[in-house]
Amino acid sequence: MEPVCRYLGLVEYEGTGYLGWQVQPQGPTVQEKLVEAASKLFGRSTWVTVPSRTDAGVHARGQVIAFDAPLLPLNRVLLGINTYLPSDIALKDLVLVPPDFRVKETQGKEYRYQIWQSPYPSPFRLKDHWWSTKPLDLNALETAAQEFVGTHDFSAFRGRGCQSTSAQKSIFAVKLLVTPEVNGQIVTLVISGDSFLRNMVRIMVGTLVEIAWGQKPQGTVAKALGSGQRSHTGQTAPAHGLWLEKVFYDPDPFVTRGLKNGQGDWGQNDPALVSKSFFV
């Protein structure tokens, strides 16, 4: 029987043309395209999983995928899968990990939300920024953002259809970045935490923007966290401004170039040096 090993990949995609990550009958998804590409390369059905599904229109710079397939040189797999992918999805990196590596067991995730604040549209930012024509009070926004940091019940920030068994989540940091541009500025919120509910980041951002617009007062975030009521939060920010930036593992397989077992490093992912004990 042909030996099979576990691959871990780093993927980026522009999510405008997709109904999110997960395969569904209503239309194209990112998972569908990756499954098709991997299956064509290996000549067999190859399922692809992720630690964090993204919704329709959401993008990713640092999505992680895992799949089991026959052992081939990593460069061949990397180039081969990219050959079969559409131009708005790319496999950026690839490593081998032990067969018991659990892709969903992460140490956290980081999201980035981008806002184009200007009275004028930007044709280069229509697909990946939320355009705000209104002035933003960035001091008010940053003050309110810090109320998210810590461990809270995020029931008020849960989107419809969320299947998470617990609304208690820990936010590590919320960072505000401002980049001045001609006729406007790019306002970026970088949000990291242990895990997230469905639409949680977008509702967080929508609430902060309404505070920055002066439509909601300071204390709105604390009130919503305390009440658990969706009616106490702001709107759900548009999906196209959101990016999955990074998934955290410890150790990070893309830094160590794989993982170690109890006997030490296993060949820096050179397939010729990989111990057969890592085959499933």
- Angle value at C-alpha 211, between 208 and 214, nearest 5 degrees: 155
DSSP 40-103: HHHTS----B-SS---TT-EEEEEEEEEEEE---HHHHHHHHHHHS-TTEEEEEEEEE-TT--T
Task: Check 55, 93, 128, 153 and give the catalytic one.
Answer: 55
Dist CA 228 CA 153 (whole Å): 7
Dist CA 206 CA 212 (whole Å): 10
Residue 270 annotated as catalytic: no
Could you tell me which residues are beta bridge partners of residue 60? 13, 244
Inter-residue contact 6 to 98 (CB < 8 Å):
yes
Dist CA 86 CA 31 (whole Å): 12
Residues 6+ apart with CB under 8 A from 64: 8, 9, 10, 11, 50, 51, 52, 103, 247, 249
CA distances in angstroms from 154 to 45, 128, 160, 245, 280, listed in the order given? 38, 26, 13, 21, 39
**CA atoms in the 13 A half-sphere facing the CB of 121:** 5
Dist CA 104 CA 44 (whole Å): 24
Catalytic residue set: 55
